[in-house]
Amino acid sequence: MYYTVALFDPNDPTEGSPRWWKNFIRANPPGTRFNISVTNDRLMEYSANYVVTGGQGGDVQRYLDFYDQRAYTWFLLRWA
């Protein structure tokens, strides 16, 4: 069972992404900040996966799937 965490609220685009996500993304190597492949490689350390669904006129949803809540907690402790 995965522990899914939404990165953006499609119903409230003014809220933005969480601070811990911004901190994590900013630590990507230069030139690869928004590269999904690089991001997922780094997330494997935390038993997580970055997922983007939707698009082409529909709502785009971005979220993280963690292996369990313990992995999510470890990730937050590191990047908050």
Distance of alpha carbon 47 from alpha carbon 6, whole angstroms: 16
- The residues pairing with 49 across neighbouring beta strands, listed in sequence order, are 65
Residue type at position 10 = P
Instruction: Spell out the domain ranges in the chain.
Output: 3-79
Give the pLDDT confidence of 41-63 residue by residue, as tens digits. 999 999 999 998 887 777 778 89
Distances 63 to 12, 30 between C-alpha atoms, Å: 15, 23
pTM: 0.82
Distance of alpha carbon 79 from alpha carbon 75, whole angstroms: 6
Tokens of 78: 């590191």
Give the pLDDT confidence of 12-25 residue by residue, as tens digits. 766 778 899 999 99
